A and B are shown apart, each in its own frame.
Chain A
Amino acid sequence: RKEVEQDPGPFNVPEGATVAFNCTYSNSASQSFFWYRQDCRKEPKLLMSVYSSGNEDGRFTAQLNRASQYISLLIRDSKLSDSATYLCVVNISSGSARQLTFGSGTQLTVLP
C-alpha cells in the first residue's frame, strides 16, 4: 500500500465548477499535511498547508480528518488557471529530519 494515495483523475470540469480531491495516508505518525500544485513540466509549488480545524485560502478549502487519515481539497469557482496536478503531501518525522512524502497527484483540467 502506498503511503499517500490519491485518485489520479483526470478531472475535467467546466469553468465555475466546484471540484474536490481526496487523499488518504497510511502512517498515523504523520505530523503535518500540505497540498502542492504542479503545472505541466514545472516544479511543484506549495498551495496550502492543511490544519486539523480545516482552513481556507480564497477559493481553496482544505480539510484533515486524523481519525480516518484523510485529507481533502475543495476548489470553488474553478478558473482555467487552476488546471494543474495537485499533490497531497504528508510530513513524517524520522529521527532529526522530517520527510515529505508526496502522493502521485490528481490531474485537473478546467475547460472553458
Chain B
Amino acid sequence: DAGVTQSPTHLIKTRGQHVTLRCSPISGHKSVSWYQQVLGQGPQFIFQYYEKEERGRGNFPDRFSARQFPNYSSELNVNALLLGDSALYLCASSFTPNTGELFFGEGSRLTVL
C-alpha cells in the first residue's frame, strides 16, 4: 500500500512568491496534518484537517492556509514567501484526528531565495 505522498519533493522560490504543496494521505485515513521543520528543530504544527474541516491551527501567520478535498488529499498554500519560510514541510495522515500515531510523508523541501 502507498504511504503518504507529497509533491513536489523540492522547490525553489523567491521572496514574495506563492507556493502550493500537495499531500495524498494513506488510503482510509481521513485526517491530514501539516508540519514545518526547520533544520535542527523538531516539526512544528501548522494545520490539521479532518473530514474537510479545519480542526486545529498552529501559531503561523495568515499567509499560511490549507484545505482538504473530498478525497481527503490536502494542499498547503503559503503566500508572500519570506526567507524564513525555507524549511521541510511535512504532511502526516492518521485514521482520526485524536491520535498520536501519525504517518508522515517524505516532505517538500522549500528554499526561498
Contact = CB atoms under 8 A, between A and B. Distances in A.
Contact of A46 (B42, B101, B105): B101
B41 A104 contact: yes
Interface stretch (B11-19, B43-51, B62-70): B43-51
B97 A98 contact: yes
Contacts of B104: 43-45
A102 interface: yes
Contacts of A93: 98
Interface string B96-113: 011111101111000000
- Give the secondary structure class of A's interface: strand
Nearest to A32: B100
A49 B100 contact: yes
B42 A87 contact: yes
A87 B101 CA distance: 13
Rank and list the top 5 A-B pairs by shortest CB-CB distance, nearest first.
Answer: A102-B42, A97-B56, A97-B55, A43-B104, A34-B100
